[in-house]
Chain A
Amino acid sequence: METKTLDAGAIRTSKDAAPTTGGVSKQKARMSRLMVSPSVLLLLLWMVVPLSMTIYFSLIRYNLLYPGENEFVGLENFHFFVTDLGFMAGMTNTLLLVGSVLLITVVFGVLISLLVNLAFWGQGIVRVLLISPFFIMPTVNALVWKNLLLHPVSGVFAAIWQFFGAQPIDWFSEFPLFSIIMIVSWQWLPFAILLLMTALQSLDQEQQEAARLDGAGPWALFWHLTLPHLARPIAVVVMIETIFLLSLFAEIFTTTGGGPGYETTNLAYLIYSQALLQFDVGLASAGGLIAVILANIAAFFLVRVVGKSLTEKQ
């Protein structure tokens, strides 16, 4: 309604005196700024309040076990967090986890979506089955793997090992990080498949035919046409998965609890254990801020490397 009246006004003024149109469009811009301001303000509050509180907490002593002793301690919390034994482990594990899951989901995602893209009987059902793990809640997923698949006594894997006469493996104590990577990859592979499969369907058929006439075999077709075509969806997969995997928590919490030792503790889990297991809110806030900074560094590089291929026109 508002804009309509303004439009009518614009027409009238431009008829009377042409130069005033600039003023009208400025007025319009002010109007639209006014209209979006509530949501911008809300978003700002949403972000600024928790952030400033976290910064404040990170600079004071704030342990729930010792109430009342909230004096300013400067960067001591940061110092503690960074020099904590768990910090290096948490960093390495975070990177290992994110890196391996990305690698597994992208490589297998490409291979599986190529396979599923071939025409075969029952294609629809297979596709749905492939996508379905994505709809399972992370906690449920972790519990299923922990109790039904990887359990050293009653798990499916143990049964298979026993069938071949081998000693069943206690996955979470012998290969804890690998087990987590396996679980998380299983959870995220469908996401990669979904995106890549959709992208494959838009692969131009005539380009493939032209390449076949040019003498390209299956490998050359994949390397020169399919893979470049998938660059963009792969970038999306990497970007989104990185964002979610950096803060991976539920799967670790449900299965290993960060152990044994610090072997499966990532940054998110470290912050949790500082805050709620040791009741040190100040330390946890400092950790949280460090995590935010690290995530921003990661995001910066992602946007530089990955985002470039996204914004490029195709």
Chain B
Amino acid sequence: MADLTIKNLKKSFGDLEILKGINLNIKDHEFVVFVGPSGCGKSTLLRSIAGLEEVTSGHIYLDDREITELAPAKRDLAMVFQSYALYPHMSVRKNMSFALELAKESKETINSKVAEAARILELEPLLDRKPKELSGGQRQRVAIGRSIVRQPKVFLFDEPLSNLDAALRVQMRLELARLHHDLKATMIYVTHDQVEAMTLANKVVVLNQGQIEQVGSPMELYHSPANRFVAGFLGMPKMSFLPATVVSSDHQGTRIQLADGATLALPVNGATLHKNSQVTLGVRPENIHVSDPSESDFTGRLDIAENLGSDTYCYVKTSSNETLTVRTPGNFTCNFGQQIGLSLELDQCHLFDDQDQALPRLERIAA
């Protein structure tokens, strides 16, 4: 069992509050990913869980045991660092057996555990090398091996793939997913890379400025972001945002007017909105379509098109000078400066109130 519970965790460096009250529940076998922009406190949160940072207030429980004040080694957690932090003067074997030797385990136990970890990670031919004689991916594996041998309740990863090149990153990502499956371990993983977050996680925790913005499965976060920050953070290219004003609203739907004059009726519960209040419309690139200018929601002027082969992303300027990102098929051709018509999939649009909180979509309530 490995249930990790964090209650109202706060952490300040001097006067600066970095974590502003984190509440989180992580269940056994979950793969939890902390995402957020750089400097939002992901590492600090992870290090607080590991015991490398003293928390200012709050509690951390592992199962029924409070570990808030416990020494790092006594917490039954293992951590993989971004720099790998391998011991440079020790062989791969010694790197992996170090913790076991400090725990005074028997020679046979140590050997069998190291051999098992080496087998899982395919490190057997490298056991007698020094870290400097390994490639980046191999070092990464040794760092993971070092935590596997300890058989911890929870694995902690701090941006473990960010020092690898793109191809290796994809490969290691798959290996991590396989490892999580094979070990049936609870893993907490920090990254600023949303692809890693979306592909690896059972549960994504979006952090922003020391606070949790939303917790949920990758698809929940993608399709029903709780606020504008989460909506903008997940998705590549980013969701486009258009300012709008409310024309009329009730719990059946909301009619808004965009800055360039177009009015749209959205299946969004607008019971909390008032006429003329400011809202923001959010649309993902795949929910906008290029259509005949005469029968579209509004028109725009093509600014830049990025052709990726499978898709072409068009950056379109609306007549009120906002930029929209539109996903079109890879064979889409269009000229710079050309006027094109755009239609929105209204039931896939997101509406955010003046506090940037998402308004509930109607079909979800009906469902």
A147 to chain B, nearest CB (A): 47
B96 to chain A, nearest CB (A): 10
Identify the closest chain A residue to B133 (Cβ).
A313
Q: How far apart sit A313 and B89, CA to CA, in the bound complex (Å)?
A: 11
B52 touches A220 (CB 8 A): no
Q: How far apart sit A19 and B52, CA to CA, in the bound complex (Å)?
A: 63
Identify the closest chain B residue to A228 (Cβ).
B89
B102 touches A216 (CB 8 A): yes
Stretch with Cβ within 8 A of A (4 or more), from B71-79, B107-115, B237-245 = B71-79
Contacts of A203-219 to chain B: CB distance below 8 A: 204, 206-207, 209-216
User: A214-B73, A313-B132 known; A206 and B85 CB under 8 Å?
Assistant: yes
Q: How far apart sit A212 and B132, CA to CA, in the bound complex (Å)?
A: 22
Q: Is B167 an interface residue (CB 8 A)?
A: no
Q: How far apart sit A295 and B105, CA to CA, in the bound complex (Å)?
A: 48
Tally chain B residues at the interface, Cβ within 8 Å. Answer: 25
By DSSP majority rule, is chain B's interface helix, strand, loop, or mixed? loop
User: A204-B83, A206-B83, A207-B85 known; A214 and B52 CB under 8 Å?
Assistant: no
Q: Is A225 an interface residue (CB 8 A)?
A: yes
- Which residues of the partner chain B approach A214 to less than 8 Å between Cβ atoms? 73, 98-99, 102, 146, 150
- Which residues of the partner chain A approach B61 to less than 8 Å between Cβ atoms? none
Tally chain A residues at the interface, Cβ within 8 Å. Answer: 19
Q: Is A314 an interface residue (CB 8 A)?
A: yes
Q: Is B81 an interface residue (CB 8 A)?
A: yes
B102 touches A213 (CB 8 A): no
The listed residue (B73, B86, B103) touching A212 by CB distance below 8 A is B73
B79 touches A211 (CB 8 A): no
Q: How far apart sit A260 and B82, CA to CA, in the bound complex (Å)?
A: 63
Q: Is B222 an interface residue (CB 8 A)?
A: no
Contacts of A4-19 to chain B: CB distance below 8 A: none
Q: Mark A275-314, 1 if CB is under 8 A from B, else 0.
A: 0000000000000000000000000000000000000011
A213 touches B77 (CB 8 A): yes
Q: Mark B207-224, 1 if CB is under 8 A from A, else 0.
A: 000000000000000000
Q: Is B87 an interface residue (CB 8 A)?
A: yes
Q: Is A224 an interface residue (CB 8 A)?
A: yes
A213 touches B78 (CB 8 A): yes
A209 touches B73 (CB 8 A): no
Contacts of A180-229 to chain B: CB distance below 8 A: 204, 206-207, 209-216, 220, 224-225, 228-229
Q: Is B50 an interface residue (CB 8 A)?
A: yes
- Which residues of the partner chain A approach B90 to less than 8 Å between Cβ atoms? 224
Q: How far apart sit A79 and B4, CA to CA, in the bound complex (Å)?
A: 82
A210 touches B132 (CB 8 A): no
User: A204-B85, A225-B87, A313-B132 known; A209 and B99 CB under 8 Å?
Assistant: no
Q: How far apart sit A221 and B348, CA to CA, in the bound complex (Å)?
A: 56
Identify the closest chain A residue to B88 (Cβ).
A314
Q: How far apart sit A314 and B130, CA to CA, in the bound complex (Å)?
A: 10
User: A220-B102, A228-B89, A313-B132 known; A213 and B50 CB under 8 Å?
Assistant: yes
A213 touches B79 (CB 8 A): yes
Q: How far apart sit A220 and B104, CA to CA, in the bound complex (Å)?
A: 13
User: A214-B98, A215-B103 known; A224 and B87 CB under 8 Å?
Assistant: yes
B85 touches A215 (CB 8 A): no
- Which residues of the partner chain A approach B83 to less than 8 Å between Cβ atoms? 204, 206
B58 to chain A, nearest CB (A): 21
Identify the closest chain B residue to A206 (Cβ).
B85
- Which residues of the partner chain A approach B99 to less than 8 Å between Cβ atoms? 213-215
- Which residues of the partner chain B approach A212 to less than 8 Å between Cβ atoms? 52, 71-73
- Which residues of the partner chain B approach A313 to less than 8 Å between Cβ atoms? 132
A213 touches B87 (CB 8 A): no
A228 to chain B, nearest CB (A): 4
A210 touches B103 (CB 8 A): no
User: A225-B87, A228-B89 known; A210 and B73 CB under 8 Å?
Assistant: no
Identify the closest chain A residue to B50 (Cβ).
A213
The listed residue (B73, B88, B89) touching A215 by CB distance below 8 A is B73
B98 touches A211 (CB 8 A): yes
- Which residues of the partner chain A approach B150 to less than 8 Å between Cβ atoms? 214
- Which residues of the partner chain A approach B81 to less than 8 Å between Cβ atoms? 206, 209-210
B79 touches A210 (CB 8 A): yes
Identify the closest chain A residue to B143 (Cβ).
A210
B77 to chain A, nearest CB (A): 7
Identify the closest chain A residue to B150 (Cβ).
A214
A230 to chain B, nearest CB (A): 11
A209 touches B85 (CB 8 A): yes
Contacts of B43-91 to chain A: CB distance below 8 A: 50-52, 71-73, 77-79, 81-83, 85-90
Q: How far apart sit A204 and B86, CA to CA, in the bound complex (Å)?
A: 10
A209 to chain B, nearest CB (A): 5
A223 to chain B, nearest CB (A): 11
- Which residues of the partner chain A approach B132 to less than 8 Å between Cβ atoms? 313-314
Q: Mark B287-302, 1 if CB is under 8 A from A, else 0.
A: 0000000000000000
B87 touches A211 (CB 8 A): yes
Q: How far apart sit A213 and B98, CA to CA, in the bound complex (Å)?
A: 11
Q: How far apart sit A69 and B87, CA to CA, in the bound complex (Å)?
A: 68
Binding site for A on B (CB under 8 A): 50-52, 71-73, 77-79, 81-83, 85-90, 98-99, 102-103, 132, 146, 150
A-B contacts, 26 of them at CB < 8 A, read A204-B83, A204-B85, A206-B81, A206-B82, A206-B85, A207-B87, A209-B81, A210-B79, A210-B81, A210-B85, A210-B86, A211-B98, A213-B72, A213-B78, A213-B79, A213-B99, A214-B73, A214-B102, A214-B146, A214-B150, A215-B103, A224-B90, A224-B98, A228-B89, A229-B89, A314-B88
Q: Which 4 A-B pairs have the closest CB atoms?
A: A215-B73, A214-B99, A228-B89, A206-B85
Known: A210-B79, A210-B146, A224-B90. 11 other contacts (CB 8 A): A204-B83, A206-B81, A206-B82, A206-B85, A209-B52, A210-B86, A213-B51, A213-B73, A214-B73, A215-B102, A224-B98
